[in-house]
Every structure is written in C-alpha cells, then in structure tokens.
Amino acid sequence: MLRLQTVVLESCGGPSLAKLLEVLPEGGRPVLLDSSDGSGWSLLAWDPDCVLEGNLTQNEDSSEAWPLAKQDPAQLLEEISSKEIWEPASGLPPEAWSGGWIGWFSFECGHAWEAFPWAKKSSTQLPDFSFARYRKAIAQSPDGTLFLCYAQDMGHENSQETSHLLNCFHLMLEETESIEDSLHEASSPILGPLISHSSPVSFQKRVSKLRDWIGEGELFQANLSHAMEAECLQPPRNLYSHVRREQSTSMSAYWEDEQGHAMLSWSPERFLQVDGEYLQTRPIKGTAPRGLNELDDENIALALEKNEKERAELTMIVDMARNDLGRVAQIGKVRVRSSGEVERFSTLHHRTAVIEAEWNPSDGIASLFRATYPPASVTGAPKVRALQAISELEEETRGVYCGSFGIWQPGPNRGDFSVLIRTAIWSDQKLHLRVGAGIVWDSDPKTEWNETLLKARYLEKAATLLCS
C-alpha cells in the first residue's frame, strides 16, 4: 500500500504552479494540471517512477519509437493501476491529490476502440498514448495555498526524503522571486505567423462534402479540423505561463517528455470526471468572439444563446453524451444538469452543457472509455460514421488534438480528463496545433473556415501582447 504524506508549504498567495514549472530543473517529465481560472485545485508533478506509453499501429513513414500495444490502452492502464492501493493524504480534500497516473490518450485511440483505420501520416512524433505514475507533486488550492505531497510505501516512511523535497521546494520559491519574466522583455515576436496545412478552398471543399453526406442522410453532424503551425522562439514552459495569463480555463495542462516535446493545453472543456460512482461530462458546442466593450459583449452572448443552429448542434451533442454515458450508467441514472449556458473566456464565448450519471466503479475505467471515447463534441453524430468521415477527409492524424488529458487515481477511484482543444505541441522550435468546427446541413463553408481561425486567436493575442 502507498501512503500519501502532505506538508503545508505556503499560506495563501503563493506563486502559481505555472511559475514553479518555469524554474523546475530540466528533465523529470513534468506535468501540470492547471485550474488557471481559480475554479479548482491544481497539481504540478515530476519524476515519475513508472511510464506506460505506446502506439496502436505502425506509422508507415516514421521509425517506430514505442512498442505496439496488443490491447487497448485504457485496459492496460486499468490492469497496471488496479494492483495499487493509495491511502489519501491527511488534511487534504479528495479532489486535491490522492496519487496516481497522469497522461493522455490521442484521438486515434478512439479509432482503435472502434476498429477504424488511421489517416495517412502524423504531424508530430508522439506516441498514441502516454501515462506515468507520479509519487510526488505540489498541489495548490483555489485560495493559493501550496501543499507538498509525496507517496511512500506503507511502513517505509523516510524523513530524509521529506527534508530533501522541502529544500528543493524552497530553492524553487527563491528562484521564482529572483527571475524576471523573459517573455515580457522580448523585443521581437515570440511566434511567427500561424500557417495552415490546408488552404481555405481545400477546407471549404471538405465542408461541402460533409454537407452532401448529411443531405444524403449518412450523418447529422461532424467535426472537421485542419493543422496549423508557427515558428516559436521561446521555451515551451515560458510560453505556456504567458498564454495562461491571457487564457484562463479550468482544464489547462502542460506535459513534457525527455525527447524535447511539450504539450501546452488551455482547454475549457471537461470530457469526463469520475468520483466514485459519480460521472460528469461538460461538452462545448457553439462559439462566438468577445465584444469590443461590455455592451457589445452582452449582445454577442445573447445572439449566441438564441442562435438556432448552435442550439440544435449542442442539443445533438448532449443527446450523444447521454447515450454514451448510458452505456455504462445504472438504469435511470443519467441526467442533464444544464443544456446551454453561455460561458465567457478571454477571446471567445462558448455554449456548454453538463450531463451527469451514476455507474458501478467495479466495471473499470476501460469500459468507461470504450463507451464514451472519443468525446462526442469533437466527433459528430452518429459517432461511428463521423469517425469514418474524419478519417477520410483529414490528411493527417489528429494526435493529441481532441484526445483527452487527465489523472486517474485507482485507489479512491477518482479521475478528471479534459478534451484537448486549444492545445499545441512544441517540438524543434515549432508550435503545432489544430483547429476545427462542427459541420451541419446549414453550415456555410466560409463561415466555418473563419470559425476555425477564431479558435486560434488566443495564441495570436498572446504574441501581440508580448510585443506591444
């Protein structure tokens, strides 16, 4: 049994975990689960003692860097983690941290679960899934209090480890106080122009093809995306920290590996929260820009709320999410808590819904992901036909985009996973990202193209502010 220890490090008002991430020594495979809007607990973990990652298929045009998985990755995670028992930390609420596995599933994991082929090539050199077990972390409460958390085998507590971790933390605190924000001193743009791998004409032709299929009754809606990239002149940790200040969300995240890749996510969307028998998903469908002033903002939000096309899209996705949860939920235990609230973010308005359910945890996390993945909001309806359409129309694999990132704590049976939108991969001084839009019968191809560009505005805004 693993027992979690906790030490209170700072009173209210400590530095953000994103700032601590900036001064964390290189290497160590750090991860950050970041409620940057202050709505929940955040977590910075590093130096895992076990890594589980691999590919589900051989990529024809790249060397195989990870072993091929012979069974689905959620099943692998379940089998390995089920052997562990974590004793919750004393003095912390369960949502803070109870130890566990942190990582992500790519969008293509859903193709494997549904037995569909891959797109032709991958735009980034990352595995199809990656999880690691972390024994030490810094947790931050919504009021800013910092807690050092670490796990030790029951009966093998080590006071020297406590002292060592405390010393490391206080050195990090000193460094955050002494360093200047290098990004604010940048005299040239930190990001080059965002360049799409698709032309507007090409994307709009694919929208028209989807509309044809919808008109023929093959599907009702499908999410269509395209890849973008930009030169990036700053380290990924610094870039994440800066964009975070302009794009505060409840499900932000950062991940880094030993090969020089980093994932930067400022997602506002929850895919799946697990708390014992309780399940929740919060799909997003419907997008509009922020206004020039308060009155303009209110009018745009009201127009989004009354937009019948956006309302119909969200209703469709809510129905899909209900059906997905219903595959594992107890009979009669699926309910819609909210079906269309407009939420405001720094550059966008979104319509969101909240669907809850109760299930039997003994069924296992693998059955939960097989029933619900990929997220309904980033596939389409019906989901199987939408996956086929996405595979046919998009030239590259999505990879982490529209996949899911989160934490699984097998002992207390807790987990929280985002939908990886507003997400970029940093590699070799380049930032790779994807943006998409939900296509329905009355979609206008040009409007849908413009919506995808709108969803990349948060990066352009951050880069502009840095150079102003």
pLDDT of 149 reads 83
Which residues does the chain have with pLDDT short of 50? 183, 186-187, 465-468
CA separation for the pair 77, 72 (Å, rounded): 9
Count CB-CB contacts under 10 A for residue 181: 14
pLDDT of 234 reads 83
CA atoms within a 13 Å half-sphere pointing along the CA-CB vector of 73: 28
Q: Which of 181, 103, 135, 348 has its CA nearest to residue 249?
A: 348
pLDDT of 205 reads 97
Domain ranges, ordered by start, for the chain? 2-466
pLDDT of 468 reads 37
Spatial CB neighbours of 79, under 8 Å, sequence gap ≥ 6? none
Token reading at 8: 């209170």
Q: Are 303 and 288 in contact (CB under 8 A)?
A: yes
Give the β-pairing of 86-87 and 2-10.
parallel
- pTM score: 0.90
Q: What is the DSSP letter of 96?
A: T
pLDDT of 240 reads 92
pLDDT of 145 reads 87
Token reading at 249: 């969300």
Q: Which CATH number describes the domain made up of 2-466?
A: 3.60.120.10
CA separation for the pair 386, 221 (Å, rounded): 7
Burial class, 152, CB count within 10 angstroms (exposed 0-12 / middle 13-18 / buried 19+): middle
CA separation for the pair 47, 29 (Å, rounded): 6
> How many residues comprise the chain?
468
Determine the Cα angle at 287 with ends 440 and 374, to 5°: 65
pLDDT of 89 reads 73
pLDDT of 122 reads 65
pLDDT of 422 reads 92
Determine the Cα angle at 6 with ends 51 and 170, to 5°: 85
Token reading at 31: 């991860």
pLDDT of 147 reads 86
